[in-house]
Copies of this chain bind each other. A is one copy, B any other.
Amino acid sequence: MTAAPHQNLAAPPAPAPGSLLQLHAPALGGLEPRLRGVLADAINQPGSLFRLRLVLALGRAQNVDEEIAGRLATAVEFYHTASLLLDDLPCMDDATTRRGRPCAHRLHGEAATILGALALINRSYALVAEATVALPFHLRTETTETLDACLGCAGLVAGQARDLAFADTPPSPRAVGRAAMGKTAAMLRLALELPAIAAGASPLERRQLRRLAVYWGLLYQGLDDLRDLRLSAATGAPKTDGRDSALGRPNLALATGLPLARARLQHLEKLAAGAVRELVACGRFWSVLQLFHRQLSAPLDSV
């Protein structure tokens, strides 16, 4: 019995989001065991995959080739994972647990953790280059500029440095926002803009996506700050709780007090919802963002 011809022509089913990490992971064979441990854990025990799912959904909505979207999505998730590995180090946030397990540096050592983060970052750059190699000249240039803006001295790296230096500066919502902008917003901007560039989105749409990344980044970080204040270590929150106040890290609720922090987050939620509406007005396919907006702002109901 032979397969019906149309089965040969059908596109293979898209891999599940989590399996994309395995598909595009660095080759682990022959690696030093501790480095392999860091990478295997990062690949096999992922977090919520919010950024990966966001890139995939945006890619599908905009008819980006599934192979290309899968590479971009995995790259963004690997950049994010690498930044978490480094954030948790003793010289940074000195966290002990992440996602309910001991941090990578507790399990595999600091050196292997730093090298694991580097390996993920290198892999991410390779994946973006593979995904964009066939794009026209100007879209490849825009991809390079966006990566540089989000990951380099204007983005993630600067935000993390400001985060660490925060203990030396007077806390204010403005200063908290500045640190969050560099980190969380930069990574969300990458997740929103990379598939948009690949799909050839308009300058207006790109501008709205950057606004949304800022609102989402501030909202996400603000909600995380409230959690850090309220939860005890027993609840299994994503990072070691209470560390922000102990370490003098930027924390919106610590800077303004709880009622003002709550009001500010509700305002941010409205701004973000407005940015999503304006995108949907540009094209119906952007309505896929509504689902992610609801997920991201859901914790607001319980603060």
Interface residues of A (CB under 8 A from B): 26-28, 30-35, 39, 86, 89, 91-92, 109-112, 114-115, 118-119, 121-123, 125-126, 129-130, 133-134, 137, 140-141, 143-144, 147-148, 151-154, 156-158, 160-162, 164-165
Is there contact, CB below 8 Å, between A31 and B153?
yes
A133 to chain B, nearest CB (A): 6
Residue of B with least CB distance to A144: B129
Residue of B with least CB distance to A134: B137
Measured between alpha carbons, how far is A90 from B119 in the docked complex, in Å?
Answer: 20
Extra A-B contacts (20), CB below 8 Å, given A32-B158, A122-B151 = A31-B153, A32-B161, A32-B162, A32-B165, A34-B161, A35-B157, A35-B161, A91-B109, A91-B114, A114-B114, A115-B160, A119-B152, A119-B157, A122-B148, A122-B153, A122-B157, A123-B152, A125-B125, A129-B147, A133-B141
State whether A157 and B115 are in contact (beta carbons under 8 Å apart), knowing that A34-B165, A126-B144, A147-B126 are contacts in the complex: yes
Is there contact, CB below 8 Å, between B148 and A118?
no
Is there contact, CB below 8 Å, between A153 and B111?
no
State whether A164 and B32 are in contact (beta carbons under 8 Å apart), knowing that A123-B152, A153-B119, A157-B119 are contacts in the complex: yes
The A interface, classified by DSSP as helix, strand, loop or mixed, is helix
Is there contact, CB below 8 Å, between B144 and A140?
no
Measured between alpha carbons, how far is A79 from B166 in the docked complex, in Å?
Answer: 29
The 7 closest A-B pairs by CB, nearest first: A32-B161, A91-B110, A26-B153, A129-B144, A35-B161, A122-B152, A126-B148
Is there contact, CB below 8 Å, between B115 and A130?
no
Is there contact, CB below 8 Å, between B86 and A114?
yes
Residues of B within 8 Å of A147, CB to CB, are 122, 125-126, 129
